[in-house]
Amino acid sequence: MNAERGKKGYVYLIGAGPGDPGLITVKGRDCLAKAQVVMYDYLANEELLRLAPKGAELIYAGKVGGQHNREQSQINELLVQKALSGKVVARLKGGDSFIFGRGGEECEALVEAGVPFEIVPGITAAVGATSYAGIPLTHRGITTSVAFVTGHEKKGKASSEIDWEGLSLGSGTVVFYMGVTNLPHIAESMMAHGRSPETPVALIRWGTRPEQEVLVGTLADIAAKARQAEFKAPAITVVGEVVNLRETLRWFDNRPLFGRSVLVTRGADQAGDFTSKLEQLGARAYCCPTIEITPPENYAALDEAIEALDSFHWIIFTSYNAVKYFFGRLEEKGLDSRALGRCRVCAVGPKTAAALSPYGIRPDLVPADYKAEGVVAAFSEMEMAGKWVLFPKGDRAREVIPEELGRLGAQVMAPVAYANHTPEEIPQEALLALEEGRLDCATFTSSSTVQNLAAILGENRFLHLMEKVKVASIGPVTSKSCRELGLEVHMEPAEYTLDALSAEMIKYFAAE
């Protein structure tokens, strides 16, 4: 709803989930899309801010340097102030707002001010983090009860609000929120009130995120283990026999690329599938588009070729973009795939072949070698003298295909169907990952991707930032460009596809 200025606004109190942005509810996502103001916490994944409308006011209300950026009373006042100015406010809180999220206090302030609000529940850390760690909170035959407890109480407090005896006796699972600092006190208190020192304990840090860490021990030794491992917040502590099921049920942090950070340099419109695949394999993918694909500056040459389509014997597509922009122009001129007539079609690689499918076209030729030389080799086995070939290309395409097919006697038209541009800068998140040395691997899927990254950063800075980053190149042409810029290539698949590149990365890091 869009409140008129001067009238009371509206507040959505949204549980953002434990960290994985995919765990926000559908309703939470929809409410964020209505917001004019978003107030978000330290534990709310900042990727969720992309769901807010462009131009929405973003207000950080979490921690800075381990200290609260604003006191709770100040947050309450700001919520009321923004709503009373007529704004739709999304209050985005990590986990669930009503489970150790102080959401109740914020709602009380809204009620007192007469501000209408709505509560959108979220997946709390105890549920999300334990699920991603492979630890069921309850299990028939082990325990039928679970308790969520604050871990903030300090040893030496005059009186405790925690029922240590009730928590310690029996076999129930106990989850302590934010209790890493007080871990020795928690373990000692449970043992002192009757819980066996051998009771399994798991610490889960940054649960559901690619950087998730899990440390397992017992009540007797978990504090020492955490100290030795320098295990830090934010984390939850899980106490109970269900922790023993982790080794059988773990699924998230044993994936082949788990914990690896990967730079994806494809164009923004094509990075999604590759990024999703890497994330499914457990990697943290940083999108860093180094190419912007646009229509050509001038359509004259492509239009001339389209007008003469019925005279061509072959049309060669070497990329998804060539297919997209060629058929896009065809449609703009009121034509469709029937305009190809009897023209035979060559597609370089399975992805390019798949891009043709929506147009009802199955390629007549898919060369075994997915590069320009492979196309030439395939056509060299045919009689090409006097044949007319159309090769819609990018403005930076190599001249191998038109030159070599010309030597075979073919007449080749190679109009520019799309243009490649170099962005002025790379996304801040990707740049920070490079500067802070958090990247394990950078992937390059064309010569342009590596050349453009070097151009954006400057070659000296590029080489410095890439010094300890492993390089995954999709094929020999791209690898050659990497080496010319001074990079060592660590991974190159035999087949020049993204699936093969992913498999090569798995193989490399498994061996490492």
Catalytic residue annotation: 41, 63, 178
Pairing of strands 284-287, 411-413: unpaired
- Separation between Cα atoms, residue 203 and residue 238, nearest integer Å: 6
- Separation between Cα atoms, residue 72 and residue 78, nearest integer Å: 10
| Secondary structure percentages of the chain, helix, strand, coil, to 5 | 40, 20, 40
- Separation between Cα atoms, residue 42 and residue 34, nearest integer Å: 22
Tokens of 150: 């604050």
Amino acid at 430: A
DSSP string spanning 70-109? Answer: S-HHHHHHHHHHHHHTT-EEEEEESB-TTSSS-HHHHHHH
Looking up tokens 């009689």, which residue turns up?
A: 383
- Per the CB < 8 A criterion, the answer to whether 360 and 331 are in contact is no
Tokens of 457: 């950063």
- In angstroms, what is the C-alpha Rg of the chain? 29
Tokens of 124: 């709390």
DSSP string spanning 94-149? Answer: SB-TTSSS-HHHHHHHHHHHT--EEEE----HHHHHHHHTT--S-BTTTBS-EEEE
Q: Which residue, 89, 143, 135, is CA-closest to 113? A: 89
Inter-CA distances, 193 with 41, 199, 218, 358, 434, Å: 35, 13, 16, 67, 49
- Helices (H), strands (E): how many in the chain? 19, 23
- Per the CB < 8 A criterion, the answer to whether 240 and 199 are in contact is yes
Going edge to edge, which strands form the sheet with 344-347?
Answer: 344-347, 314-317, 388-390, 411-413
Q: Which residue, 18, 36, 15, 35, is CA-closest to 26? A: 15
CA-based torsion, 448, 372, 401, 368: positive or negative:
negative
Q: Is the peptide bond before 256 cis (omega within 30 degrees of 0)?
A: no
- Separation between Cα atoms, residue 29 and residue 16, nearest integer Å: 9
